[in-house]
Amino acid sequence: MIVEYAAPETYKGIKIHGYQTRERIEGRVKPQIDHVMGLTKTEALLVYVADVRRPPEARLLAGAMLEALFNLAVQDRRERPSINMDLVRAHTAGLDESSPWRSPWSYGCIADGPDSEGRPIPLTHEELKQSQMGR
Amino acid sequence: MTRAQRHALLQRQVVLMVADDYPAEVIAEVMQIPLDRLKAMFARQLKYGKAIVRAEELLRLDAQSESGKTAATKRLLETAAGAAKELGVKSDKAKVDQATIVATALTLIPGGRK
């Protein structure tokens, strides 16, 4: 089976990971990015970042928004939100497409486990190498 | 100091005083020149002084925001929201805060907008 992958692109300032079909990017990844951008509650962002079934791009965004909330509170000398930033970073570690932990079988990190969204066709060794080099 | 440099300095002085809401009569008094001469020589600065200083501030904030300073990004977005309010455009403070959070987050993501 031959899969036609979409060309690299960014969406609203976020890099869309490679080796995804146009259908997935338009139907799943972009709507989830929009969804995360609209999340205002810390609790909702925390739930999202830990959900391995969600696209890694959107999970990275959720993690970054939590980091931003924390940093902005520090800068403004306000009470910091009760976020365990170590846990947030643990959930998003390895999600970047250039990470050596990128899963060839799912759209996330190897450490996400079997519940993460599986790829219809696993990435080849060459494709993984290319994504780690920032193709 | 050349004549042109001195004039530029005086123009700058007028712009700053206008931005600080000094009436023209007070500016003339501070600079020790007749009011009608002030109005003749510095008409543009008297009329647009506030806008000139504001534009410089926005440029400075934009440069700082581009280099990743989150406080500058926040100020810039707040300034835009304030301007929208002055123009009578409805502005939702919660959305401004959300915009700040998203803009800041984008600078933290690998490969995100810097």
Q: What percent of chain A has pLDDT over 70?
A: 98
For residues A18 and A135, the answer to whether their CB atoms sit within 8 Å is: yes
**Residue whose C-alpha is closest to residue B32's, from B49, B48, B10:** B10
Residues in A lying within 8 Å of B, measured between beta carbons: 10, 13-15, 37-38, 40, 60-61, 64-65, 67-69, 71-72, 75, 96, 98
C-beta pairs of A26-35 under 8 Å, 24+ apart in sequence: A28/A55, A29/A55, A29/A57, A29/A58, A32/A57, A32/A58, A33/A57, A33/A58, A33/A61
CA A31 – CA B71 distance, rounded (Å): 29
List the end-to-end C-alpha distance of chain A, in Å, as a whole number.
23
C-beta pairs of B90-98 under 8 Å, 24+ apart in sequence: B94/A40, B98/A37, B98/A38, B98/A40
Mind listing the pLDDT tens digit for each residue in B70-102? Answer: 677 777 766 665 655 555 555 555 555 888 899
- β-pairing verdict for A9-11 and A14-16: antiparallel
For residue A123, the distance in angstroms to the closest alpha carbon of chain B comes to 21
Q: Where is A23: in which H helix or E strand?
A: helix A22-24
Instruction: Give the pLDDT of residue A2.
Output: 73
ipTM of the shown complex: 0.83
For residue B68, the distance in angstroms to the closest alpha carbon of chain A comes to 12
- Contact state of A68 with B105 under an 8 Å Cβ cutoff: yes
Instruction: Give the pLDDT of residue B97.
Output: 84
CA A95 – CA B112 distance, rounded (Å): 14
For residue B39, the distance in angstroms to the closest alpha carbon of chain A comes to 43
Q: Higher-confidence residue: A76 or B18?
A: B18
* Chain B residues with CB-CB distance to A67 below 8 A: 105, 108
Most confident of A8-12, A110-114, B65-69: A8-12
* Chain A residues with CB-CB distance to B71 below 8 A: 75
Instruction: Give the pLDDT of residue B114.
Output: 54
Mean per-residue pLDDT of chain A:
89
For residues A12 and A33, the answer to whether their CB atoms sit within 8 Å is: yes
* Chain B residues with CB-CB distance to A40 below 8 A: 94, 98
Instruction: Give the pLDDT of residue A129.
Output: 85
For residue A100, the distance in angstroms to the closest alpha carbon of chain B comes to 14
Tokens representing A60? 């990275």
CA B37 – CA B1 distance, rounded (Å): 22
Number of Cβ atoms within 10 Å of the Cβ of A107? 25
Q: What is the pTM of this model?
A: 0.62
- Contact state of B110 with A61 under an 8 Å Cβ cutoff: no
